[in-house]
Chains A and B, each alone.
Chain A
Amino acid sequence: MSGVGATRASPSRGATRRVEGAPPLDVERIRRDFPILSRTVRGKPLVYLDNAATSQKPRAVIDAVSRFYASENANIHRGVHYLSERATEAYDAVREQVARFLNAASTGEIIFTRGTTEAINLVAQSYGRSVLRPGDEVLITAMEHHSNIVPWQLICEQTGAVLRAVPITDAGELDLDAFDRLLTERTRLLAIVHLSNALGTINPVRELVARARARGITVMVDGAQSAPHLAVDVQALDCDFFAFSGHKLFGPTGIGVLYGRESLLERMPPWQGGGDMIASVTLERSTWAPLPAKFEAGTPAIAQAIGLGQAISYVNAIGLDAIGAWESQLLGHATERVGDIRGVRLIGTAREKASVLSFVLDGVHPHDVGTILDDEGVAIRAGHHCAQPVMQRFGVPATARASFAFYNSFEEIEALVRGIERAGKVFG
């Protein structure tokens, strides 16, 4: 599975894959790889459509984590003993795998974090704190997850910088004219979501990065939702930072990745201090370990990293092109079927979308839709999706959201449709 990053299409607007000519996946076979998908919920087969919140795990990931604890557990970068050497090797191998997955230039650019949230906080507190001055501007968008809003609010408060946001259109796309107007000589940093968790919009990040970088602006891309669905090539995107979470990519919770451009990471001060991130320590002062260790204080999530490695191998074996093609069919079919239900209003109708179908049902609160679907064994998310500004933009307190992964099927979409229709009847 090496070299995958270089061979895939870059996920810019023009290169986003559509349905035509894609080989269908063997969904039945794939589903057997995920033990949880054969269970029932409230007496019905589980229909798991909450993949944007977290994805399910294939047997290979579950086994890798339990095998590590059962027979390979040791701390890394410490012991001279056999198990520690093995654990260190396994951990470092995953870093190489992640570097290939994102097509990073080197493993020093891959920092393990607890997840996307921690990665964004790291960039805000280390990079942001060292460059932002009073009056500088940080630009985000009105479709960000709270995790790509709040860390910037915090650092702006701490530095006197000003936070601005690119507005979105009624379809849930970025207002690109406003984007250009908001890039000013005061803008130091652009932090932007690749694939919106609340709307499903795929932003034209390659183009936006190019416009920002042309003005010398540093760009952070939140890839929490895009990494499981779109091929990502950080060199083609030309972004400075890119973050994703293991658990949304069919791996364990507690592990995530920050990609950072080496020249920036080298200049950035450490964020957290502790073991493993130092070159030497005296009681007066310390010097820092080289990348990536400088940003990995303390014992990391070793088993989770190893699980993430298995998850990436699993995804690569199917191929993100095939995954993207199947999910695009699923989303297209679901959009049509759910959109046809009387009283349904879709929230987020961008031209370029992936995985996410957000909607409201006239006269029925999303929580009640969620409870009735749950009674049918269908798991969706109901609420503000940690994107309250998006809810405010569309004038709804919450939405119901079905989000798809490659193991979902057309039959499951029918279960979703039946559940929504039942909700309409109960409250009609």
Chain B
Amino acid sequence: MAGLSELYQNVILEHNRSPRNYRVLENANREAQGNNPLCGDQLTVWLRMEDDVIQEATFQGSGCAISKASASLMTGAVKGKSRRQAQELFDRFHRLVTGRLEPAASETLGKLAVFSGVSAFPIRVKCASLSWHALKAALDQPGQIVSTEQP
């Protein structure tokens, strides 16, 4: 069925099998944990920031293929981005997975565009955005634990 193959694109399956940047970042200066209390998924995101720019991002945790692949691709995508650029990227990514991103804008997302299939599965939006919520917390209020069930 089209919906399912859109959701589980090969890039996602591959990042689920071999997630990138899946480790504790020894010299991190930002860290935050993301929890989804409804399903029990949780992961930690570590950042090394220099002059407001993300030099490196890593993660670890447990979750489904969507949340793991999303974290994997996110840690690659935000490298070299300023805090503001990273937040803009999250905003566009969130509009993509909730089906509210104009098609032209999805081209600006690069590899992250593989998550477009998530919009047909509203219940999986939280899986795709868990690591991004943790990233945002690490940028805004490092050390915090964020939950998908908080506003």
Contact = CB atoms under 8 A, between A and B. Distances in A.
B135 interface: no
Interface string A395-428: 0011000000000000000000000000000110
B4 A375 contact: yes
A389 to B, nearest CB: 12
Given A384-B40, A426-B8, A397 B62 contact: yes
A325 interface: no
A interface residue count range (under 10 / 10 to 19 / 20 to 34 / 35 or more): 20 to 34
Contacts of B124: 367, 371
A331 interface: no
Most buried by A among B4, B13, B66: B4
A269 B42 CA distance: 42
Interface of A: 42-43, 363-368, 371-372, 375, 382-384, 388, 391, 397-398, 426-427
B4 A372 contact: yes
A52 B11 CA distance: 35
Nearest to B68: A365
Nearest to A399: B40
A372 B42 CA distance: 22
Contacts of B122: none
Contacts of A367: 39, 41, 63-66, 124, 127
A388 B40 contact: yes
Interface string B9-44: 000010011000000000000000000001111100
Given A365-B65, A371-B7, A398-B39, 13 more contacts: A363-B17, A364-B65, A365-B62, A367-B65, A367-B66, A368-B8, A368-B65, A371-B121, A382-B39, A383-B40, A397-B41, A398-B40, A427-B17
B65 A397 contact: no
Contacts of B68: 365
Given A397-B62, A426-B13, A371 B41 contact: no
Given A367-B127, A371-B4, A427 B38 contact: no
A427 B41 contact: no
Contact of A365 (B4, B63, B121): B63
B104 interface: no
A80 to B, nearest CB: 48
Contacts of A388: 40
A427 B16 contact: yes
Contacts of B8: 368, 426
B66 to A, nearest CB: 8
Contact of A383 (B1, B38, B66, B121): B38
Contacts of B41: 367, 397-398
Q: Which 7 A-B pairs have the closest CB atoms?
A: A367-B64, A365-B64, A384-B40, A397-B62, A383-B39, A375-B4, A368-B65
Contacts of B39: 367, 382-384, 398
Interface string B111-140: 000000000010010010000000000000
A427 B19 CA distance: 14
Contacts of A366: 64
